[in-house]
Amino acid sequence: MTDKTPDTPASILIIDDHPLLRRGVSQLLELEDDMALIGEAGEPETGIRLALERDPDMVLLDLNMPGMNGIETLKRLRDEGYAGRVVMFTVSDHEEDVVAALQGGADGYLLKDMDPDEMIRQLRQASLGRMVISESLTALLAEALRSQRSQPATPDIHSLTQREREILRELAGGLSNKMIARKLDITEGTVKVHVKHLLKKLNLRSRVEAAVWAVQEGVDR
């Protein structure tokens, strides 16, 4: 994955078993100067191979595909060393699918019925390192977080250090570890350590849960 500059379009690979959908996304991206489709695959194995060969900035990944679903494909991509952005692009708005994808390491979850202009806006945000979630899924994700929390203990913001609070605030803004490190002038490794500690203190399982909780509690303001 090459370092993207303002003059370098974000490279995108799409893995989706519907040719018409791939064609539509390709035509949309052709109209944009800051994003470029560098490959497409109709089935997961080919998509994984292309992702590892071409190392795009972002993979747009379908959830429901024959043979290997999107969650399994996502896991394979991460296990085999792909470190770029992965955004799920699907028709499913089921709570369990959204949670599984985000907990599995996806950087976003977008619905295929969204407005084309909104999709481009969200992909642009994702290419800049921000987490993206279809607006209609935000409330669903927050409810999933509440219902999954079996412990009666509520996360306590006061248990965090000042630095951990700063990082939590940036997580709530959708920033990646790399972007947080750059903004706070610390190393990416230090950010990872702080994220690990704050998740443990708040009794949360993922950065996504932390971000949703922080937004609910107004920590992002």
Residue 183 pLDDT: 92
Dist CA 106 CA 132 (whole Å):
10
- Given a cut of 60, whether residue 3 has pLDDT beyond it is no
**Domain ranges for the chain:** 10-143, 151-217
Q: How confident is the model at residue 43 (pLDDT cuts 50, 70, 90)?
A: very high
C-alpha dist (Å) from residue 168 to 20, 29, 101: 40, 33, 21
Average pLDDT, the chain: 84
C-alpha dist (Å) from residue 52 to 55, 74, 77: 5, 13, 8
- Given a cut of 70, whether residue 47 has pLDDT beyond it is yes
Per-residue pLDDT tens over the stretch 70-126: 999 999 998 888 888 899 999 888 877 887 887 788 888 899 988 999 999 999 988
Note the CATH architecture for domain 151-217. Orthogonal Bundle (1.10)
Dist CA 54 CA 195 (whole Å):
30
10-143: in CATH 3.40.50.2300: yes
Coil, strand or helix: which one is 70? helix
